[in-house]
Structure 1
Amino acid sequence: MEFTAFDASERRIWAGRAQAYADGFATLCAHPVPRLLDAARVRQGVRVLDVGTGTGAAAAAACERGAAVTGVDAEISMVELAARAVPAAEMHLAALPQLPFSDGMFDAVTGNFVLNHVGRPQAALAELRRVVRPGGRLAVTIWAAPAAAGQTLLARAVEAAGAVRPSHVPALAPGDDFPRTERGLADLITSVGLKDVVCERLHWDHRTPAEEWWGGAAAGVGAIGQTLASQPHHTVAEIKRHFDLLSTEFADSTGQLTLPHTALLAHARR
């Protein structure tokens, strides 16, 4: 299956940015990992594939449970960082919806926010179904809609400054998108033939220094980072000014932010 313009954009966005991601947004994204692994029934001896492993947070936690772990990521700097961080896991460079594994090779498959970064989510899920054995488990997370207030802080600063998302960072094609709700994600998973689908909404507060939160975007991480990177210097300064003003809604006396976040966790059986 051919990769989409969205997939190509994701490759450009994340190229060489593993350390910048590790220094900022990775801690946020690691929050659901224990529940993700519980949902996939990851335990001693289970053969686990962690797709979109990033810095290896889920892979590391699965290894700690005694699982036999394989991780994949579409970005080589992530694979290299994860391989150093999680030497007990086997790491590979691979991108959905084409994984280099045989049918039914794994007992469980996890994907922590990986569906947010693929051009064809349904095809990606079908590929995850292919590589999990009959009776095996799949568990995934995505960012939910509507987004919680903490998730929209940077986007609000961009909007307040009058900046717009650059054309080289496309949105998902309408025919490939789906509602980012419990029902929307559950229906998508059901559509590829997975059974006993359960989807729930997760809520948590992410605590981070204001400068660390700004720093991830300023380093070009994610679509929001690419939006900043495409602006002239005076616009970036204006976005930062609005970010500082809006951050006071979430800040304590030390400048630490408490940012509410919402995600969806879904799990199913092949």
Structure 2
Amino acid sequence: MTNAEAYDRGFAQLSSHTVGPLLVRACAPRLLDVGCGTGVVTAAALALGAEVTAVDADPGMLELIARRHPYARVRQATLPELPFEDEQFDAIAGNFIINHVSDTAGALKELHRVLRPGGAIALTWWKSDEMTATSVFAEAIAAAGVPCELPARPFEDDPGRFTALLAAAGFAHAAVETMRWRHQVDLTSWWTNVVQTAGPRFAVIGRQPPDVVARIKDHYTRLAAPYACEGFPVCAYLAHATR
């Protein structure tokens, strides 16, 4: 299984909870799905009749989405630079991508540039201190005594700060909604998919010798067990605005 396939089985299912609300706020004939991943937003927008341009930095993700959704326009790009003309899109949807960019203000200005006047933008990001679905991995790594310096997060997830950044980038009517839900998943499958996806935060697990991986997994199993029935409690923010 490739990293993209593991992501699709794991994180993509977690992030799919916000797709409906995201597209309520930003779906129009010419839609940009920025940070498309394996295509949960693209698939839903295509089903609504939108003409979708799907953008991601990861070639594996783009290969998968192009194979699944031949009617989507697929481009490789990394915020804060997009290979599009000014005012090219009627709406922009970004599902859990803005928290990964290195320059939030620059990314918002670039998204403003490619959105037509009157167009809508909607962006989601995780509330970092209410992400049990992934924090159990960090806690398991620490409990196993494995040194792990997690990458710094330049993104500030405060809603007030984010609406100010949207306004500074030129957007109007900015607001942020809070969404909470339970992510119900088989705990063994969740472990497998997160570890195989790796990424900057949990790649350290795959670099360990088998006995250490087993020790981390034992701690994960213990920490995740209370959520086996009702699911992991998670929280995300949904920001929306117009140009």
Q: Deviations over 1:159-215 (max 9, x none)?
A: 21122335xx6324xxxx343122132222222121100101110111110111101
Q: Does 1:216 align with 2:193?
A: yes
Q: Distance in 2 between matches of 1:129 and 1:163?
A: 42
SS at match of 2:194: helix
Q: 1:170 maps to which residue?
A: 151
Q: 2:10 maps to which residue?
A: 24
Q: Distance in 2 between matches of 1:18 and 1:148?
A: 21
Q: Distance in 2 between matches of 1:151 and 1:226?
A: 13
Q: Distance in 2 between matches of 1:118 and 1:164?
A: 25
Q: 1:90 maps to which residue?
A: 73
SS at match of 1:208: coil
Q: Deviations over 1:215-255 (max 9, x none)?
A: 12321432333121233333222111101111221123xxx
- Which structure has greater helix proportion? 2
Q: 1:181 maps to which residue?
A: 158
Give the conservation status (yes or no) of the 8 Å contact 1:20–1:221: no
Q: Distance in 2 between matches of 1:88 and 1:220?
A: 26
Aligned counterpart for 2:112 among listed residues 116, 119, 129 = 129
Q: Distance in 2 between matches of 1:231 and 1:171?
A: 22
Listed as ranges, the gaps of 5+ residues in structure 2 are none
Q: 1:249 maps to which residue?
A: 226
Give the conservation status (yes or no) of the 8 Å contact 2:142–2:148: no
Aligned counterpart for 1:81 among listed residues 64, 84, 99 = 64
SS at match of 2:170: coil
Q: Distance in 2 between matches of 1:129 and 1:61?
A: 23
Q: 2:216 maps to which residue?
A: 239
Listed as ranges, the gaps of 5+ residues in structure 1 are 1-15
The Cα shift of 1:121 comes to 1.6
TM norm structure 1: 0.84
TM norm structure 2: 0.93
Q: 1:262 maps to which residue?
A: 235
Q: 1:190 maps to which residue?
A: 167
Q: Deviations over 1:139-166 (max 9, x none)?
A: 1001113224334211111121122335
Q: Distance in 2 between matches of 1:206 and 1:131?
A: 34
Q: Distance in 1 between matches of 2:191 and 2:232?
A: 13
Q: 2:45 maps to which residue?
A: 62
Q: Does 1:33 align with 2:33?
A: no
Map residues 105-120 of structure 1 onto 2, 5 A cutoff.
105-120=88-103
What is the letter of the counterpart of residue 114 of structure 1?
I
Give the conservation status (yes or no) of the 8 Å contact 1:145–1:181: no
Aligned length: 242
What is the letter of the counterpart of residue 258 of structure 1?
G
Compute the RMSD of aligned alpha carbons: 1.7
SS at match of 2:91: strand
Segment of structure 1 superposing worse, 29-38 or 146-155: 146-155
What is the letter of the counterpart of residue 199 of structure 2?
G
Give the conservation status (yes or no) of the 8 Å contact 2:132–2:234: yes
Give the conservation status (yes or no) of the 8 Å contact 2:31–2:90: yes
Q: 1:10 maps to which residue?
A: none
Q: Distance in 2 between matches of 1:217 and 1:148?
A: 14
Identity %: 40
Give the conservation status (yes or no) of the 8 Å contact 1:182–1:201: no
Q: Deviations over 1:19-68 (max 9, x none)?
A: 1211222111111001001111x14xx11010011111101111111111
Q: Deviations over 1:124-143 (max 9, x none)?
A: 11111110011111110011
